[in-house]
């Protein structure tokens, strides 16, 4: 029997760990097994008091403890849209180091949420549902911006591009793309423009037409969620352009259908 981990990148915000725990509990109930909510990094900085008295688990310490207790098979369900450097670099490097330190074990990694080239149509439906929830604020004439964290890896950026193309096809409207972070230099132009730049441009083009942000984020963190960077950027742009309306969609991880995707990723490895 394998020990199953639902793995995210981690955040120093308690909301991120609590969201991960809710997803792991919901998935475990569906599967009839224990699913351990574990983060790669960062979440161990959150005080236990903010997490119901139970500290967050991070990847390397969790693996070390379990291997030392005799577990020798693991399955990681990555809560990642694409194959980020965390999956292609950090995880195998950590496993190699622990095997050299403790003993050999087997760790399998399931497919990501939006594997390319086939993609994941259910993510498109989730984004459409989430946009529908803010339609009462923006109306049918809103311009849509699909925003994600941003990555220096073209393969990860391609996930956002695939989803943007699917949204265009499904909704029949133009879809802008933006990122929260990108490295300087023309070699990273593939990553797309920063959200702040896109919003300022749209406000200058037509301040009377609102904007709906389609949030390609799984849970609250430094960028997403209440008081995060996305909200603060929106507030600043609206302060610079009075009357300009921006509505932020719910997060992907809050949608019930994400559990369907995770269940399928598990069963594909069963």
Domain boundaries, the chain: 3-110, 121-254
As a whole number, mean pLDDT of residues 8-33 equals 95
Q: Is the per-residue pLDDT at 140 higher than 80?
A: no
Query: Shortest CA distance to 230 belongs to which of 145, 118, 141?
Result: 145
pLDDT tier for residue 227 given thresholds of 50, 70 and 90: confident
Tens of pLDDT along 178-220?
Answer: 999 999 999 999 999 999 999 999 999 999 999 999 999 999 8
- The whole-number pLDDT of residue 71 equals 95
Residue 160 to residue 246: CA distance in whole angstroms: 20
> How distant is the alpha carbon of residue 229 from its chain centre?
15
> How distant is the alpha carbon of residue 201 from its chain centre?
26
- The whole-number pLDDT of residue 141 equals 80
Residue 130 to residue 133: CA distance in whole angstroms: 5
How does the average pLDDT of the chain come out, rounded? 94
Reported pTM: 0.94
- The whole-number pLDDT of residue 194 equals 97
Specify whether domain 121-254 bears CATH 3.40.190.10: no
- Report which of residues 86 and 237 the model is more confident about: 237
- Alpha carbon of 211 to those of 2, 70, 93, 188: distances in Å? 45, 53, 42, 26
- Report which of residues 140 and 111 the model is more confident about: 111
Domain 3-110: give its CATH code: 3.40.50.1400
């Amino acid at each position: 029997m394998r020990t199953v981990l639902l793995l995210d990148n981690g955040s120093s915000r308690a909301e991120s760990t609590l969201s991960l725990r809710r997803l792991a509990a919901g998935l475990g109930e569906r599967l009839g097994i224990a699913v351990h909510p574990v983060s790669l990094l960062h979440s161990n900085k959150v005080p236990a008091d903010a997490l119901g008295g139970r500290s967050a688990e991070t990847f390397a310490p969790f693996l070390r403890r379990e291997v030392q207790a005799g577990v020798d098979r693991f399955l990681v369900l990555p809560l990642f849209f694409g194959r980020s450097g965390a999956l292609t670099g950090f995880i195998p490097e950590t496993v190699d180091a622990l095997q050299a330190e403790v003993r050999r074990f087997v760790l399998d990694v399931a497919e990501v949420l939006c594997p390319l080239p086939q993609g994941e149509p259910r993510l498109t439906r989730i984004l459409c549902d989430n946009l529908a929830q803010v339609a009462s604020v923006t109306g049918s004439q809103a311009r849509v911006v699909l925003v994600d964290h941003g990555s220096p890896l073209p393969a990860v950026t391609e996930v956002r591009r695939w989803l943007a193309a699917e949204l265009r096809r499904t909704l029949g409207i133009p879809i802008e793309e933006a990122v929260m972070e990108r490295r300087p230099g023309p070699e990273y132009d593939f990553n797309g423009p920063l959200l702040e730049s896109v919003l300022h441009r749209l406000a200058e083009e037509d301040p009377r037409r609102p904007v709906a942000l389609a949030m390609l984020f799984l849970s609250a963190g430094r960028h997403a969620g209440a008081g995060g960077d996305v909200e603060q950027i929106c507030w600043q742009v609206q302060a610079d352009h009075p009357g300009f309306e921006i509505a932020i969609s719910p997060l992907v991880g809050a949608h019930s259908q994400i559990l369907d995707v995770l269940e399928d990723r598990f069963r594909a490895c069963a």
